[in-house]
Structure 1
Amino acid sequence: MLYDNLLREAEHLGIDTYEKPMSPRNKGLYGDNIIWINKMIPTRVEKACALGEELGHHHTSYGDILDQSDVCARKQELRARQWAYWRLVPLTEIVRAYKARVSGRHEIAEFIGVTEAFLQDSIDRYREKYGLFVVLDKQYTVYLDPLGVAELFPES
């Protein structure tokens, strides 16, 4: 379902998306408002993660960044991944999983619609940005290590 939503988002942005066989090391590529997703990726969940990152390139990258020995190219790659983390695994989705009584990384990843590795990478990035926890809307504390959510109750 997430993959289909991202495909619609790409179409809305005027981006053509194609699946084609690619080298196993390439999950996707973006250039000139075209996204190619590796047709050999076995699951739609993995394809959603790849498509999210390529949409991140649309929103954050410019020029040819294929040479990852270049510092600017690596920074743009990180920005695109970060965009995908924020878009596919917003902290509000972790709270929504908590409210649905979903527990464990595997189940949370399945609930959100991403791979467990993508969920972990997202959490790692959030931890780099916020530290061990972040408070959302003065209602929830999302703990990033270990992963968990605590509901805050208003003072009476």
Structure 2
Amino acid sequence: MTEYEKLLDEINLLGIKVLEVDVCTKKDFGLYLDNIIIINSNMTDTQKYCVLAEELGHHFTISSDISDLAKTENIKKELKGRKIACEKLISPDAIINSILSGANNLYELSEDLGVTENFLLEAINHYKQKYGIYYVGKTHLLTFEPLNIINF
């Protein structure tokens, strides 16, 4: 069972219906509204996994339509859903472990962590905002600029 399928099962247990719809593009697309998540069926499973996690984040943070991103409040809610997705799919310790396992660049990290490179960059930026320029793990320090680990 893939990580995407596991997340689908988790979402189904919450009573949320997921619909995969052809939106005539391969771009990331997802929408949450009233216990229904709609995602683009043309995306890869990795893209679907990342988008689905973000839409699940919206399930916990919104109570109305936030599609009008001209409103500051909607932008804040959109970002909150993304932060929840980042924390659900990738932890700083997972990044440390991936680097320790031999991942040397963003592509290898994203492949090892099972997310898109774009999602990984968003997660790194999220953790940089949350922790500052570094994160102290159990055995290593993770620096965000440049992305690196230091043994201590």
Q: Please, what TM-score do these two structures have when normalized by structure 1?
A: 0.89
1:22 aligned partner: 23
2:147 aligned partner: 147
- Between the aligned residues of both structures, percent identity stands at 36
1:40 aligned partner: 42
Q: Which amino acid aligns with 1:30?
A: Y
1:92-146 CA deviation, whole Å, 9 max, x = no partner?
2112212322221110100000011110111112112222111124x22111111
Distance 1:26 1:123, change over 3 A: closer
Q: Following the alignment from structure 2 to structure 1, what is the Cα–Cα distance between the partners of residues 14 and 101?
A: 32
Residue 104 (str. 1) matches residue 105 (str. 2) = yes
Distance 1:124 1:143, change over 3 A: same
SS at structure 2 position matched to 1:102: coil
Give the C-alpha shift of residue 26 in structure 1: 6.2
SS at structure 2 position matched to 1:87: helix
**Cα root mean square deviation, aligned:** 1.6
SS at structure 2 position matched to 1:85: helix
1:1-156 superposed matches below 5 A: 1-22=2-23, 24=25, 27-41=29-43, 43-137=44-138, 139-152=139-152
Q: Following the alignment from structure 1 to structure 2, what is the Cα–Cα distance between the partners of residues 72 and 23?
A: 29
Q: Following the alignment from structure 1 to structure 2, what is the Cα–Cα distance between the partners of residues 14 and 150?
A: 43
Q: Following the alignment from structure 1 to structure 2, what is the Cα–Cα distance between the partners of residues 150 and 15?
A: 41
- Most deviating of 67-76 and 99-108: 99-108
Off by >3 Å, runs of 4+ in structure 1:
23-26
Q: Following the alignment from structure 1 to structure 2, what is the Cα–Cα distance between the partners of residues 90 and 2?
A: 15
1:36-70 CA deviation, whole Å, 9 max, x = no partner?
111122x1111111111101101222211111111
Preserved CA contact (<8 Å) 2:28 2:51: no
Q: Which amino acid aligns with 2:109?
A: I
Preserved CA contact (<8 Å) 2:23 2:41: yes
Aligned pairs, how many?
A: 150
